[in-house]
Amino acid sequence: MKIALGQLDMGFEEKEKAMEICSQMIAEAGDLKADLIVFPEMTLTGFTMKPAIYGENIASSESIAFFQKEAKKNHIAICFGITISENEVFTNRSLVLDAEGTILADYGKLHLFFGPETKRYSGGDELQYCQIDGVPLSPFVCYDLRFPEPFLIASDKSHIITVIACWPEARREHWMTLLRARAIENQCFIIGVNRTGVAGKLNYVGDSMVISPNGDILAHVKEKDSLTIVDIQPEEVVALREQFPQKGDRRPDLYIKLASQD
């Protein structure tokens, strides 16, 4: 299975610029026969705190229509980030489209970053599951990476987990460490795609990565606006879990009991 990492500097609240870059990357990934391309959080706007301006209704979204057209044109599945507005409630989401542009997963970021995001956005409350070419996948967004519990739950079904992000350079070591941790503890592929460039006072350096179920770094992208293709073998997930069945030793009922006692 070929995964394309669409690491880019989308600017900040510059949708036309971002669309042009994404279109070029999607076309290149399609030419290289990638099965899925993954873009950073809030792909076309950057980490905007103006959801009332940049939020879109999912049924009439120009941004979703753009990615649907690109998916179908280039015969490739796409994972991207977007702000969705529903009845003046704004959510930071990761959508997954199949190669025909059909929405397979619509995930609302569970954990909002303390500060402005918590004041302007509402958190999601459910996990999402879909399949790309028969391989089960779950999407997450940025700050979710710091909270292992939902990953443990999602990985019971999914063999690939995507994490799209606008993760600043100041905490890049956390980003890289947590991506590996989530892969090792869940024995699944972790695909983390981060942005580059400068937005406001924050600097972003990418560090998009693909981590194997055994914690091996299969790709680490440091360049700006870089499309990287990674071949993964999804069957490695089943093989590792059979060889080293740590997930079967989890005691979720006990964890619930301990949490309630605390």
Active site residue 79: no
Dig out the tokens for 122 from the structure. 């509402």
Please name every residue paired with 38 in a beta bridge, in sequence order, or none if there are none.
5, 79
- Which entry of 22, 79, 130, 142 is annotated as an active-site residue? 142
13, 41, 56, 117: the active-site residue = 41
149 belongs to the catalytic site: no
Task: Examine the residue annotation and report whether 224 is marked as an active-site residue of this protein.
Answer: no
Residue from 13, 22, 109, 117 carrying the catalytic annotation? 109
Residues with active-site annotation: 41, 109, 142
